[in-house]
Amino acid sequence: MYPSPELARLAAHKAALRRDIARCREECAEAAGRVSRPLELVDRAIGLWQRLSPLAKVASLPLIWMVKRAIFRRRKVLRSAFRWGPIIFSLVRGIGAMMSRS
């Protein structure tokens, strides 16, 4: 059916393809490991939060508020957007409604 040199060439090509596929699988596994590290940390934090008693959760609220405050103090633009965003949005929507009626 096929001559012997053609079969040898196909076998070599098949072996090269298998090596390439194995290398790609290893690279994908490494990339998945790098991507999943932050998710593992989040998963551990959620597990720790669920193991806490309800009283500890209530006691931790002031700490959470302090952290939130520290984050939003540093980002005044974000804090301003959260404060004034809904008002500005409703004004723009109202002006747009008035303009569409005219």
Share of the chain above pLDDT 70, in %: 87
* Cα gap 36→29, rounded to integer Å: 10
Cα distance between the two ends of the chain: 82
| Per-residue confidence (pLDDT) for residue 2, from 0 to 100 | 64
Amino acid 80 reads: S
Those residues with Cβ within 8 angstroms of residue 73's Cβ, 6 or more apart along the chain or in another chain:
79
DSSP H helices in the chain: 4-51, 54-59, 61-74, 76-101
Signed CA dihedral, 58, 64, 66, 68: sign only: negative
Mean pLDDT for the chain? 82
pLDDT, one tens digit per residue, over 1-58 is 568 888 899 999 999 999 999 999 999 999 999 988 888 888 888 888 788 777 777 7
| Per-residue confidence (pLDDT) for residue 41, from 0 to 100 | 86
Q: Structure pTM?
A: 0.41
pLDDT, one tens digit per residue, over 58-75 is 777 788 778 777 776 666
Amino acid 56 reads: A
| Per-residue confidence (pLDDT) for residue 97, from 0 to 100 | 75
